[in-house]
Amino acid sequence: GVAEAADQLGLPVHRFPWSDAAHRAGVQRDASYLVRPDGYVALALGPTDSSDELTRFVELRHLDVSEPHAPSS
């Protein structure tokens, strides 16, 4: 699934319980979201989308998903 693909890519996974507030905010139930550090949703995957789409998205864009490094002094 998507969580396993994210793990293989080194992406952190955060799971949240479904709620009425999530529904009101426009979040799709059982969906997966790749969120950039600035809070922008880079990719939204519905519950029937393939985990291959996440892998393809990251690989095609050559995204560096490693931990951010502290600036050198």
pLDDT digits (tens, 9 = 90+) for 18-40: 999 999 999 999 999 999 989 99
DSSP secondary structure string for all residues of the chain: -HHHHHHHHT---------HHHHHTTPPTT-EEEE-TTS-EEEEE-TTS-HHHHHHHHHHTT---SPPPPPP-
Tokens 């969580």 correspond to: 3
Q: Residues near 32 by Cβ (< 8 Å), separated by ≥ 6?
A: 2, 3, 6, 44, 45, 49, 54
pTM: 0.80
Phi, psi torsion values for 57, nearest 5 degrees: -60, -50
Has residue 17 got a pLDDT over 90? Answer: yes
